[in-house]
Amino acid sequence: MEYQVLGSGVEDWETLILLYNSALKEIGTKVDILNDEFQHIHQYNPIEHTKMRVKTSESIVRKLRKKGYEATIPNMQKYVSDIAGVRIICSFTSDIYRIADMIRNQSDLKILEIRDYIKTPKESGYKSYHMIVTVPIFLSDSVYDTKVEIQIRTVAMDFWASLEHKMNYKFESNVPEHIKKELYDCAKMVSDLDERMLKLNEEILKSAEAEK
């Protein structure tokens, strides 16, 4: 069986989308199993829910052109790392790093890139933990390492990011300054909320442990 890195050998759109959809299924199964195991051991689910999507062809082409590349299948594979995306939503910031460690320990996944926008937020105030990984997809006569972007964030971070996305789409990145400032202030409020909720949860756990 031939083993290939995605980007060498895939020449048609249908096969490309098959691989990315298959990669999402693989990652989704892994996340479900990890969550079930964590529940079994600790009686606690760190993952609230997950979202998965494959970018539309229009979105991929737009991203390539923005980067200055021609819209070809090889360029899609080489220069767009988030064609397949998984978003993992959890309750507390501590869960984010716990989940990231569990994913990192999966031996068949290769970590290509990590961007920690929690420790170092974007200028807009955006916070999230990003991982670019590859997962092997076994077809009938070959194996392809297929890229997936994994985003891990709290419920509050996801709510804020959803609003920012809608705002940028609405204004096509030409956002009025007063709205930018208001959204940035909201990002600080989200960070404060996450921190307070984490401390509150830790207090609850300590109290419950002391009563045993």
DSSP state of 7: T
| Residue appearing with tokens 């479900």 | 32
What does the CA dihedral 20, 101, 29, 83 come to, rounded to 10 degrees?
A: -20
Buried b (16+ CB within 10 A) or exposed e, 13-26: eeebebbbebbbeb
Angle between the N-to-C axes of helices 177-210 and 155-171, in degrees from 0 to 180, rounded to the nearest 10: 170
Which of 123, 149, 182, 209 is catalytic? The answer is 149
Bridge partner list, 89: 49, 153
Task: Note if 195 is an active site residue.
Answer: no
Active site residues: 149
